[in-house]
Amino acid sequence: MYLKYYLAAIVAYTIWGFFSLPLRALQAYSSFDILGYRIMFTLSLMILTLLLFRRKTLKSSWDTYKKLKSSEKKHLLTVNFLSGLIFAVNWFVFIYVMNHVSVNATSLAYLICPIMTVVLAVFILKEKLSQIQWIAVLICVVSCGMMSIGHFEELMYSSVVALSYAFYPILQRRNHQLDRFVILTFQVLFAVILLLPFFPYHITSMEKTAVFYEIVTLIAILFTIIPMYLTIYALKGLNSSVVGIFMYLNPIFTFLLAIFYFNEKLSFVQGLGFGLILAGIILFNIKIIKEKVFR
């Protein structure tokens, strides 16, 4: 029953694990150039999709919204405005760190982020973890500490990226009144509204080639809309803590690309940290693995 939600989370974070490939191809451009065009392309494609293929869903969501109580409407708008703010901050910082600090720094961010998400889910949403899952979380904390040894500056940048995203799954856990694609579109719209005043001052005059537009379009569809939708869909059937632990797939693939594709250095301690993270992920999900694979 829950396999489709697990699959959605796995695919989403696996896709994001390869995000460094298109971003590094745009390294010559400023972070805000990439962010500005990415978010505008994403919003345009999502609105186009709604108007051409999901008009009935859009109308149904509007009808549902009108029937909500005043307090529910306020809660819905607040949650999705905050989600848009998270997008705006996280996307800018992530792109900057990826292209101007290191690929390893971004992967370290998403090693820290699941821990923050799981702990926030426990204290804010009152989600429960078993003793084995708490041990898995502790293993991941230790591994993150190991990965940061000798990389304090990267850890600082990584912490900003992680903190700017950790709240997102928490907010989405109780954000199911309307269609998920409609919700996602309005979150991106709020992000655009927040960033729009900065466009005239931070979008550079550097010539944008056809390749730039092609890569940004790829980023908008494959690395933004699809994984974001899958994440929200996964949260329909899984706890935030469970989805949060799958975030580790993102940095695992990012670290592998950093080492084998971008030729960045990885110490023995960091390699050992990887092994511990994999062990923590398996341990955290050991119950579902037994039920789905070995039953």
- The number of residues making up the chain comes to 295
What's the confidence (pLDDT) of residue 264? 73
| Predicted TM-score (pTM) of this structure | 0.77
Q: How far apart are CA 117 and CA 245, in angstroms?
A: 8
Residue 109: pLDDT over 90: no
- The percentage of residues in the chain with a pLDDT greater than 70, rounded to a whole number, is 93
Give the model's pLDDT for residue 47: 94
Question: How far is residue 246's CA from residue 18's CA, in Å, rounded to a whole number?
Answer: 15
Q: Please give the pLDDT value at position 141.
A: 81
- Tell me the mean pLDDT in the region 52-56: 90
- Is residue 216 scored above 90 in pLDDT? yes
Query: Of 90, 85, 294, which is closest to residue 190 (Cα–Cα)?
Result: 85
Tell me the per-residue pLDDT of 236-269, one tens digit each, with 9 for 90 and over.
Answer: 888 776 776 787 788 788 878 888 888 877 778 7
Mean pLDDT computed over every residue of the chain: 83
pLDDT for 252: 80
- Which pLDDT score, from 0 to 100, does residue 46 have? 93
Q: How many whole angstroms separate alpha carbon 109 and alpha carbon 128?
A: 25
Q: What angle do CA 29, 111, 225 make, to 5 degrees?
A: 50
Structure-token pair, residue 60: 């149904």
Strongest mean pLDDT among 98-102, 150-154, 202-206: 202-206
How much is the average pLDDT of 160-173?
78
At residue 1, does pLDDT exceed 70?
Answer: no
Q: In this predicted structure, what is the pLDDT of residue 293?
A: 45
For residues 61-90, give the mean pLDDT. 90
| pLDDT tens digit sequence for 38-48 | 999 999 999 99
pLDDT score at 63:
93
